[in-house]
Amino acid sequence: MTTIRAIIDTDPGIDDAVAILFALASPVFVILGITTVAGNIGITTTTRNAGRLLALAGRQDVPVFAGAAGPLACKGFDVAEIHGSDGLGGVAFPAPLAEPGGDAVAWLAARFMVEPAGTVDLLTLGPLTNLARLVTDHPAAARRIRRVIAMGGAVLDKGNIGPRSEFNMAADPEAADIVFGAGLPVILIPLDVTRKVRASQPYCDRLQASGKTGAVASAALIRAYFQNTTVSGPGSESRPLHDPCVMLLAEDPSLFTLEPMGLSVDLGPTRDAGALTPDATRPVIHVAMEVDGARALDLLAARLTA
Ligand code: RIB
Ligand code: CA
């Protein structure tokens, strides 16, 4: 079995939480640490939530480091209406077992410099502010990243913030512009595919019936996604499981179809700030444009319930 050594950069967040619980449950991941960023909700809450998830999983071996409290340039905003005032849909979690460490970007730089080059993935589940700061302030460390697998953007699909802008990119367009222009080995997972990965109530029942800690918590988190959504009601599908797609692709790339493309980022003043446009003059990254949603959900459940 291959081993995926990875760092998770995240703004938990309900779907971030399911993604993190999946990675902690899967035997293929070795999680070196979690860095947090403001996004779905403020940095204090996203950092505390990372610690709460690790406490639930009994993983005090995984350190947490707090990152950016806001975007590089634009005015920040959150989506607490989706994730709840605690960022986890009101689902009960224990308190963190340890205080977060120092600055996330300084830790990322130090860690990537000591790890053999090309051996550690960076899995980003929120705005790209921390990674953009690493690229800008510590380029030698950034170049040692094996793969950046990032959830964000919309290519052919409509946005979820503006007509074409998606939250993670809209929350910090300047950071996205830096990351997509840096020539890093980026795999981007946009709304075009994450919207095809949604859970049903019977799926949540299956997770809950396993009695496994991460699966039971994930069922409660996803059900909160139902409760907080205006799109679907009881009996329908959940909001998209956006962030779990990052870990699912890391573990089984065959679930997704990737296309090479360069991307430019709208840095303008409109609601479409952060919108992505294919651009042949930009460094080529790889973008997931198709997913086998059923197989993806099966792998998610298999790891959580094992
Ligand atoms: O647009 C979806 C993304 O924004 C996900 O990462 C979700 O957690 C929010 O951060
Ligand atoms: Ca997220």
Q: How many CB atoms lie within 10 A of CB 73?
A: 11
User: From the CB of 166, is ligand 1 less than 6 Å away?
Assistant: yes
d(Cα 275, Cα 56) in Å, to the nearest integer?
36
Which residues face 151 on adjacent strands? 189
Instruction: Name the average pLDDT for the chain.
Output: 95
What integer pLDDT is reported at residue 77 of this predicted model? 78
pLDDT-derived band of residue 148, with 50, 70 and 90 as boundaries?
very high
The domain segmentation of the chain, as residue ranges, is: 4-305
Residue 176 tokens, joined: 């996205």
Whether the CB of 40 sits within 6 Å of ligand 1: yes
Counting DSSP H helices and E strands in the chain, the numbers are 13, 10
Q: Is the pLDDT of residue 234 over 70?
A: no
pLDDT tens digits, 36-48 = 999 999 999 999 9
Beta strands in the chain (DSSP E): 4-10, 29-36, 64-66, 121-124, 148-151, 186-189, 256-261, 263-265, 276-278, 285-291
Whose structure tokens read 């975007």?
71
| Residue 16 in contact with ligand 1 by CB distance below 6 A | yes
Any idea what DSSP says for residue 253? G
User: What protein residues have CB closer than 5 angstroms to ion ligand 2?
Assistant: 11, 13, 16, 125-126, 243
Distance (angstroms) between ligand 2 centre and the Cα of 123 equals: 11
pLDDT digits (tens, 9 = 90+) for 174-214: 999 999 999 999 999 999 999 999 999 999 999 999 999 99
Q: What's the CATH fold of domain 4-305?
A: Inosine-uridine Nucleoside N-ribohydrolase; Chain A (3.90.245)
Residue 83 annotated as catalytic: no
Q: Are strands 276-278 and 263-265 parallel, antiparallel or unpaired?
A: antiparallel
CA-wise closest residue to 121 among 209, 267, 3:
3
Task: Please tell me the distance between residue 126's alpha carbon and the centre of ligand 2 in angstroms.
Answer: 4
- pTM for the structure as a whole: 0.96
β-pairing verdict for 64-66 and 29-36 = parallel
pLDDT band at 219; cut points 50, 70, 90: very high
Residue 9 has a pLDDT of 99
- Tokens encoding 56: 């639930």
46 lines ligand 1 (CB under 6 A): no
